[in-house]
Amino acid sequence: MQADPVALSKTAQRLRRISLISTTQAGSGHPTTCLSSAEIVAVLFFHEMRFDPKDPRARNVDSFVLSKGHAAPILWAALREAGAISEDPTTLRAFTSPLEGHPTPLCPWVKIATGSLGQGLSASCGIAWARRHDMLGARVYCLMGDGETAEGSVWEAAQFAAHNALDNLCAVVDINALGQSGATMLRHDVEAYARRFDAFGWNSVIVDGHSIAELIGAFEKARAAKGRPTVVLARTLKGKGVGFLEGKEGWHGKPLKKGQELDAALKEIGDPNAAIDVRPRRYPTAPAPVADRREPAAPTYQAGQEIATREAYGNALVKLGAVNPHVIVIDGDTKNSTFSEKFKAAFPDRFIEAYIAEQNMVGIATGLAGEGKIPFASTFACFLTRAVDQIRMAAYSRPPVLVLCGSHAGVSIGEDGPSQMGLEDIAIMRAVFGSTVLYPSDAVSAERLTAAACAAQGVVYIRTTRPKTKLLYPNTEPFPIGGSKVLRRSDRDRLTLVAAGITLHEALEAHVRLAQQGIAVRVVDLYSIKPIDSATLREAARETRAILTVEDHSVHGGLGDAVRREVDVPVAMLGVREIPRSGAPRELLETHRISATAIVEEARRVLS
């Protein structure tokens, strides 16, 4: 659109006015951070960005990510003034309104939920990567706060964007010098910010964040820059436009009071008559790949073969990639252990190396999911827990599907020791709203469940193990999410053993030993921990009257706790109860009482 500095300046004032009114009406919110970014938002939405106000799902348009999510009021104001939403901004934070206190997909213009600071840039990297991969030409703008640059995830994203030459990404840092409880680390030292971004390989542009002309020029430079991302470092004043708020501490997250306080602020802001017509502007659309609806090729393992579930995961990725061009695989420098390297070899243009930056990896996956991709992100289970905040925010972003794979889980990895053993991951992933938690025990189930993850919804977690395990199932065996497998049963069963992963093999061995002692037990493969097969568990509880769970995971919050919630009979639980140490896998299984020997002993104790 043709730049009209006067109209844009009036629009910024109008956005300030709406932000003040809506936060006061709500009785909560963050008006001062909206005031500092008013010119930035006005220039982006009413001049710089190419988008269609009537089509929030369009991909051949520019995207906006509000990483400083507490500035949501000005986002809602801008969308309303641009004709993109019909909701009244004064419904901000109301229970029945999609205009929440921080951006969520309840508003269709929000692809990425924000509000936990330091995450928007990672998600923007995922969006920018997807746009470039699909040859759309569209750009991504990420508005950040200066305070959130203290988060390490910001710099994980910064180095990723530069390394991948994401020149369709433009970050804007609103440097207003004030955080929640005091001044920010660098205050108004914009040159220090520039040196840091420059060191990471970015194109830095310093501007007066309240100058319409300088902002327009900065975005022109960003659009012209090739081969590296651009950051616009905007020096601003928190509370800009209202004298008793400008640059003052103690106003973060504090709305103005109705009456004299609000009236005085609005009088100073004025009531500009600004109406910029935002007309649809799109980029030429490149043909989008169409997903082949064929099922991936079936497993082809041989009877008696031993193969690790982590390797079967890699095999499954290749087969999925062959039939679904939307599958994108990301790994955190563990691809030769998670076997995602198999996908890289087959489809290098759809593989992303995230390096040792797990928070950024999950953030990228969230951005990819928002673009309609099916991301599979993998690393060791223990390292994935480093990104718990990103995982929960991914769930709040309501992705169609986002798959995480944690390998090398449990004490069964052996000598590497406790720092490398994922022992808390099931508990964490079960707690994520809307999540699916899958735990295959052999190669066939691993392949089938990896394929099934594509058809799931939300965040899906697949737990794989390091050691090779024997095949338990024929290649044709189905594994629907929410199911389980009863591997051993009889009318004489007095106890049910419930396990998954490495301990399922121990439970099967325990079944043999107990049978030799004249004790009949049932064995259930609980490959789907969430959603869980309540019917099978309740039937087993009713028929055997007791359940013993065994898992290579902390005894707290894992498979055992999941089972205990579903049945009304005693549930004995075997799991890891103390911090492990290095040792041989068999030695550790025995020490932590999750081996076949321990299962036999515990089963006899329960039955006695």
Mean pLDDT of the chain: 96
Residues 6+ apart with CB under 8 A from 216: 3, 5, 43, 47, 48
48, 358, 424, 506: the active-site residue: 358
Answer yes or no: is pLDDT of 541 > 80. Answer: yes
Residues 6+ apart with CB under 8 A from 245: 31, 32, 35, 238, 239, 251, 265
Q: What is the pLDDT of residues 341-377, one digit of tens each?
A: 999 999 999 999 999 999 999 999 999 999 999 999 9
Least confident of 120-129, 195-204, 280-289: 280-289
Question: What was the pLDDT predicted at 288?
Answer: 67
Per-residue pLDDT band at 113 (split at 50, 70, 90):
very high
Location of structure tokens 């550790």: 588
**CA distances for 139 relative to 59, 169, 194, 195, angstroms:** 10, 6, 22, 24
Question: What was the pLDDT predicted at 478?
Answer: 97
Question: What was the pLDDT predicted at 43?
Answer: 98
Question: What was the pLDDT predicted at 565?
Answer: 96
Residues of the chain above pLDDT 90, percent: 96
Beta bridge mates, 204: 231
Question: What was the pLDDT predicted at 274?
Answer: 81
pLDDT average, residue stretch 30-49: 98
Amino acid at 315: N
Contact 576, 605 (CB under 8 A): no
CA distance 147 to 170: 18
Question: What was the pLDDT predicted at 273?
Answer: 85
CA distance 251 to 239: 8
- Burial (CB count <10 Å: 0-12, 13-18, 19+), residue 50: middle
- Strand, coil or helix: 345: helix
Q: What is the pLDDT of residues 550-572, one digit of tens each?
A: 999 999 999 999 999 999 999 99
Nearest-Å Rg of the Cα atoms of the chain is 27
**Extended beta strands in 366-480, E state:** 374-380, 401-407, 436-438, 458-463, 469-470
Question: Side-chain half-sphere of 23: how many Cα atoms within 13 Å?
Answer: 34
Question: What was the pLDDT predicted at 294?
Answer: 78
Per-residue pLDDT band at 482 (split at 50, 70, 90):
very high
What residue ranges of the chain are covered by domains with CATH 3.40.50.920? Answer: 485-607
Q: What is the pLDDT of residues 163-201, one digit of tens each?
A: 999 999 999 999 999 999 999 999 999 999 999 999 999
CATH architecture under which domain 5-269 falls: 3-Layer(aba) Sandwich (3.40)
Question: What was the pLDDT predicted at 529?
Answer: 98
What residue ranges of the chain are covered by domains with CATH 3.40.50.970? Answer: 5-269, 307-470
Give the CATH number of domain 485-607: 3.40.50.920
CA distance 168 to 129: 9
- Angle at the Cα of 399 (from 340 to 71), degrees rounded to 5? 120
pTM listed for this prediction: 0.96
Per-residue pLDDT band at 292 (split at 50, 70, 90):
low
Pick the CATH number of 307-470 from 3.30.70.2610, 3.40.50.970, 3.40.1480.10, 2.40.30.10: 3.40.50.970
Answer yes or no: is pLDDT of 471 > 70. Answer: yes
Answer yes or no: is pLDDT of 285 > 90. Answer: no
Q: What is the pLDDT of residues 70-100, one digit of tens each?
A: 999 999 999 999 999 999 999 999 999 999 9
**Beta sheet of 528-530, edge-to-edge order:** 351-353, 327-331, 374-380, 401-407, 458-463, 436-438, 528-530
Residues of the chain above pLDDT 70, percent: 98
CA distance 608 to 602: 10
Q: What is the pLDDT of residues 1-14, one digit of tens each?
A: 667 999 999 999 99
Contact 360, 393 (CB under 8 A): no
Per-residue pLDDT band at 289 (split at 50, 70, 90):
low
**Catalytic residue at 358?**
yes
pLDDT average, residue stretch 381-385: 96
Answer yes or no: is pLDDT of 116 > 90. Answer: yes
Question: What was the pLDDT predicted at 293?
Answer: 64
